[in-house]
Chain A
C-alpha cells in the first residue's frame, strides 16, 4: 500500500540552527501539506502546496518557514532559525486532489530544539 514517508524520524537541533524536514508523498498525489503537533496539543495546519506553489498557509507559517519540492518526489519543510517553541511533531500529508476524499499522513518527524 502506498504511503507517505518522512525522514528523519527524530531530529535534535540547537536553537538558531536551520533544519530541513523531508517527506516523500505518494507518487501520483498533487496536493501536499505540512502540519505540526506540539506535545499534548492538537494537530495544527501549517501550509498546503500545489502546482509548485503555496496554496494556503496558516499564521504559524511565518518567514522562518519555507517549503520546497526540489524534484519530482521530495517535499521539504525548512525552518531557518529554530526556536524552542518549534519543538513538535511535524507531519507531512498528501492527497490526490482538492478535498480528498482523503489525505494520507506520514509517521511524522519529532523535532526537538535545545
Chain B
C-alpha cells in the first residue's frame, strides 16, 4: 500500500483558512486520494476524495499537485468543531474490498 506523510499536528485560529498538507510520492496511477477525519471519541468521517483535478464539496476543498505526489486539504473557515485528526489515505478504487489504511494523521487544534 502506498504511503502518505503528514505533519503530526497543526494549529489554526477559528474562522481562518487551514491548509493540511500530505505527501504521497509513491502514488500510483490508480490511487485515489481520500481524506477522512476523526473527531474526539467518534468514528472516522469521510471528508473528500480526488484523483487528478482539484475538488470542492460542502466540507472542504482538495488541491492536488500536478505530479500527484502531494495534496492539500483546505478548510476555508475553521470552526471549533473542525478540531480533529485528519487522515490522508491512498485507496485503489477498484481494489476488491476497498480497505482504508490509516496512518497517524494530522491532529488539528482550533483556537477561539
Contacts and interface: CB of A to CB of B under 8 A. Distances in A.
Interface of A: 4, 31, 33, 35, 42-45, 48, 50, 55-56, 58, 91, 93, 95, 98-108
B95 A99 contact: yes
Question: Taking chain A's interface residues, is the majority helix, strand, or loop, or is none over half, making it mixed?
Answer: strand
A35 B102 CA distance: 10
B93 A99 contact: yes
A40 to B, nearest CB: 11
A95 B100 CA distance: 11
Interface residues of B, number: 25
Contacts of B97: 31, 33, 48, 50, 55-56, 98
Pairs of residues from A and B, 6 with the lowest C-beta to C-beta distance, nearest first: A99-B93, A105-B43, A48-B97, A102-B46, A56-B97, A55-B97
Contacts of A99: 32, 91-95, 98
Contact of A100 (B42, B87, B91): B91
A103 B96 contact: no
B45 interface: yes
B7 interface: no
Interface in B58-112: 87, 91-105
